[in-house]
Amino acid sequence: MAMKYTKTEIISLKNSTEYNEKWLQARIEEDPTILGLGDLEFRYTEKMMVGGGRLDTILYEPDTNRRYEVEIQLGKTDESHIIRTLEYWDIERKRNPQYEHCAVIIAEDITSRFLNVISLFNGFIPLIAIQVKALKIGDNISLFFTKVMDEIRLDLLEEDTQAEPTDRNYWDKKVGKNQMNFTDKLFQSLLPEIGDYKPKYNKHYIGLEQNGMANNFIYFHPYKKSVVLNIRLDKTQDIDDKLENSDFEILNYDKQWRVYRIKLHDTKELENLDIIRELVSQAKQEKGG
């Protein structure tokens, strides 16, 4: 049966008394997934900020332990909206450093002028701009959200240039020599796939380098009782299925850095690394290693 065409009418939320900012905020908090940013959960509304002001909404992504500081602007974006969004984001990340934080601007009209201004911060400040349109369809109203500027994340290669370099002794003291010996064995087991790369010791992870250049298609997070191997690959159903059917402990996929995370505990797990070898080889090929 053919669908009937229905003419739509754009509703200005800024000029509406019924469908106003509070109404829009409530719809987002009822179902944060309508923003198109993933399977987010609602955390706070109208949070009082240090120094005055209220942050409209805080959303949370459990898989990545990430918070989104959301500011809503009806009508066109303006300077105060941008400054307020960045100020609230900065306050929250300093007060709650245990989370990753991302600023989100939502407006009915994000002009090219302010898009250019916002883009100056991107890559340095995690910032997403979303344009919202309210449409009247018959006797109903619907909301459409369009991401007009996505967050640009710094690659691990660039992150490596900003990371604090350290040495093997730092990690021996941090997690113990036995655990670092296990990390060495894991590295050696993957040497056919890694090739001529050597470990590059940084404060928060152990990456790879070749001729003084970092290329972290894989990197390691040693802990006192385990080592997490991070493999840089886009998430696919095929890889998910392979890992799900393996005997390894698979952690949640890291959406921020686009890595699969595999936790290993002892040398027995190094006896059968076929699946891991395959993924490491694929990651190296995709990263131009």
For residue range 143-198, list pLDDT tens digits in order: 999 998 887 554 444 444 445 678 999 999 999 999 999 999 999 999 999 999 99
Structural domain boundaries enclosing 59: 8-149
Q: CA–CA separation, 48 vs 113, rounded Å? A: 30
Q: Examine residue 3 and state whether it is found in any structural domain, yes or no.
A: no
What is the per-residue pLDDT for 152? 57
Looking at the structure, tell me whether residues 261 and 209 fall in a common domain.
yes
Instruction: Clarify whether residues 13 and 143 are in a common domain.
Output: yes
What kind and span of H or E run contains 46? strand 41-48
Q: What is the mean pLDDT of the chain?
A: 87
Domain boundary among 89, 117, 149: 149
Of 103-107, 170-174, 239-243, 256-260, least confident by mean pLDDT is: 256-260
pLDDT in the model for residue 164? 65
Q: What is the pTM of this model?
A: 0.56
φ, ψ dihedrals at 220, nearest 5°: -120, 140
Q: Which of 232, 281, 237, 288 is nearest to 260 (CA)?
A: 232
Average pLDDT of the residues in 63-90? 89
pLDDT for residue 159:
44
Position 160 scores a pLDDT of 42
15, pLDDT greater than 80:
yes
Cβ atoms 144, 135 nearer than 8 A: yes
Domain co-membership, 130 together with 58: yes
Query: Is 52 part of a structural domain of the chain?
Result: yes
Question: What is the spatial distance between Cα 233 and Cα 247, in angstroms, rounded to a whole number?
Answer: 20
Distance CA 106, CA 116 (A): 16
In this predicted structure, what is the pLDDT of residue 28?
95
| pLDDT value of position 155 | 42
